[in-house]
Structure 1
Amino acid sequence: MSETEFEYQEKIRRLAVKIVKHYRGKGPESVKVRLEYKPLIIIEIRGILSSLSEILLKEGAVHLITEYWKVLKPYLEREFIAEIIETLGSPFTYTWKIEDPTPGERAIIIQLNKSV
């Protein structure tokens, strides 16, 4: 990986850490960034759910977590979308999914695609 690619990857990681700290209070150890190929960037965030959310999930109240994310997701997008565009240097599309390996180790995987 070239120095320029590493700096680019670090900029994206720092922004992702800022977003995670904003809603979850977790630090940089929870965020990993991979540059898969030119237009695709993978961001993996571990430990995405709060302790309360983990309890709700364990007790079968997934609908409460879903409702919470309906409010939180647009808020996070409004707060950080301009910073992400500035960091990437272009518009992008994104997809995300929640990986569900074990309680406490859940992860959200965000794929940013710059080829818009």
Structure 2
Amino acid sequence: MFGTEFEYQEKIRRLVVKIVKHYRGKGPENVKVMVENDSLITIEIKGVLSSLSEILMKEGAVDLVAENWKVLKPYLEREFMTEMIGTLGSRFTYTWKISELCPSGRAIVIQLNKSV
């Protein structure tokens, strides 16, 4: 599909940056893409929250951020799942988690499993 693993990782990274930029209004601070094997890809994104979400988190309104995400998540999935399927070349399932809640180390880790 791609000439090298690096090209594959870079294509995924650019798509993730595009998705975050669409939601956040600017790109993330850092995106790492690791191809674990043929069916598992791990993506770590730092600097993913919108400015409003960051303010709400600092003020202790974590519940409002969670409520906001309930609305945004389906929208982002509808808008970008097709592009990711095209990039990966197959359907996939995914899981995600926030790795740390403190702002300086906060990152979202997404694992894509292509063995669907």
Give the TM-score normalised by the residue count of structure 1. 0.89
What's 1:22 paired with? 22
**Distance in 2 between residues matched to 1:66 and 1:81, nearest whole Å:** 21
Q: Would you identify which runs of 4 or more consecutive aligned residues in structure 1 move more than 6 Å?
A: none
What's 2:52 paired with? 52
Which residue identity is paired with 1:97?
A: K
5+ long unaligned stretches in structure 1: none
What's 2:106 paired with? 106
Secondary structure of 1:37's counterpart equals: coil
Count matched residues.
115
**Share of identical aligned residues, percent?**
75
What's 1:79 paired with? 79
Which residue identity is paired with 2:80?
A: F
Which residue identity is paired with 2:31?
A: V
In the TM superposition, what is the alpha-carbon distance from 1:26 to its structure 2 partner?
Answer: 3.1
Q: Structure 1 29/63 Cα, relative in aligned 2: closer, same or farther at 3 Å?
A: closer
Which residue identity is paired with 2:22?
A: H
**21-30 vs 76-85, greater mean Cα deviation:** 21-30
**Distance in 1 between residues matched to 2:59 and 2:27, nearest whole Å:** 27
5+ long unaligned stretches in structure 2: none
In the TM superposition, what is the alpha-carbon distance from 1:29 to its structure 2 partner?
Answer: 4.7
**Distance in 1 between residues matched to 2:115 and 2:52, nearest whole Å:** 38
**Distance in 1 between residues matched to 2:27 and 2:62, nearest whole Å:** 25
Contact kept, 8 Å, 1:14 with 1:28, in 2: the verdict is: no
